[in-house]
Amino acid sequence: MERPEFDIVDLGTKHGGAIWEFLKNGKSFLRNEALEQRINRGRCVGYERPQAADYRGKVEAKGYQFRLADLADDKEIAALPTSEIYLAWHFLEHVPNKEWAHKLVKASLTNSRHFAWFRLPSFEQDEQTGEGFLKKHGMRFTWTNWLGHPTPWLVSDCTNAIFEWSKEFPERKFDLQIRPADRMISLSDPRIVPIDTPVDVNEYSFEYGPKPSIGPFTTPIIAAWEVTVRFK
């Protein structure tokens, strides 16, 4: 089988952090020793929006390639390259709407030979481990009120896109895993703020008002989720 164009494609790369973390800690998830050994830093590429050209220097300084593309455009999505691995970490919430996020999940799967990894900040509203629990105490996540997050992409949105894709490619068998990527254990976490905190606030400050005085959570709140697809 012909080798794909890249070893890793990282969508929404920013400074190449996801590639760096994957190369350092994530290769074991592949369960493919031969692939682990042949992944080459120079065959990794980070994609960013055209307005983010300033990131190029930091990405290329790490030894990765860098490309600009408007990934809310059908032609640019169709031009995405083949790769052993696709990463989309904290990216899908930044695209204009769920239609485009859906297309990007499917394109990632189509172009990935071995593995696709989606890391999602939690927009879940359940009252057990999601933002619904925080709202009962007048709190919310910081990131659920950012102008840069127009698409509250849920785990169910991601899995729906995966299974819709699988109907188009029934010959491609895979294992799907869903697991927490990050947890919050108490209201003291700086990423928890009062509901009426202004838009685009990244962390809590006393100026936004007090937090309720409650102890550690009985059940941790899930701050982010990982959805991984490993092709057989």
| In the chain, domain spans | 6-126+148-184+223-231
Distance of CA 13 to the CA centre of its chain: 10
Helix (H, G, I), strand (E, B) or coil at 117: strand
pLDDT tens across 68-115, in order?
Answer: 999 999 999 999 999 999 999 999 999 999 999 999 999 999 999 999
CA separation for the pair 138, 44 (Å, rounded): 43
* 6-126+148-184+223-231 classified as CATH 3.30.465.10: no
Q: Are strands 221-231 and 112-121 parallel, antiparallel or unpaired?
A: antiparallel
Is the pLDDT at 123 greater than 80, yes or no? yes
The answer to whether 228 touches 116, Cβ cutoff 8 Å, is yes
CA separation for the pair 180, 177 (Å, rounded): 10
Mean pLDDT of all residues in 192-204:
98
pLDDT tens across 124-148, in order?
Answer: 999 999 999 999 999 999 999 999 9
Is the pLDDT at 1 greater than 80, yes or no? no
Predicted pLDDT of residue 106 = 98
DSSP strands (E only) in the chain: 6-11, 44-48, 65-68, 83-89, 112-121, 139-141, 174-184, 192-194, 221-231
Axis-axis angle for helices 155-168, 98-111 (nearest 10): 50
Please give the DSSP secondary-structure letter assigned to residue 127.
T
Query: Tokens for 144?
Result: 């659920």
Closest by CA to 143, choosing from 100, 98, 193, is 193
State the pLDDT confidence band at 189, using cuts at 50, 70 and 90.
very high
Q: Work out whether the CA dihedral 34, 35, 37, 43 comes out positive or negative.
A: positive
Query: Tokens for 118?
Result: 């989606």
CA separation for the pair 131, 193 (Å, rounded): 11
Q: What is the CA radius of gyration of the chain?
A: 19
Helix (H, G, I), strand (E, B) or coil at 64: coil
Predicted pLDDT of residue 61 = 98
CA separation for the pair 104, 47 (Å, rounded): 12
CA separation for the pair 121, 146 (Å, rounded): 12
Query: What's this model's pTM, rounded to 2 decimal places?
Result: 0.96
pLDDT tens across 25-59, in order?
Answer: 888 888 888 899 999 999 999 999 999 999 999 99
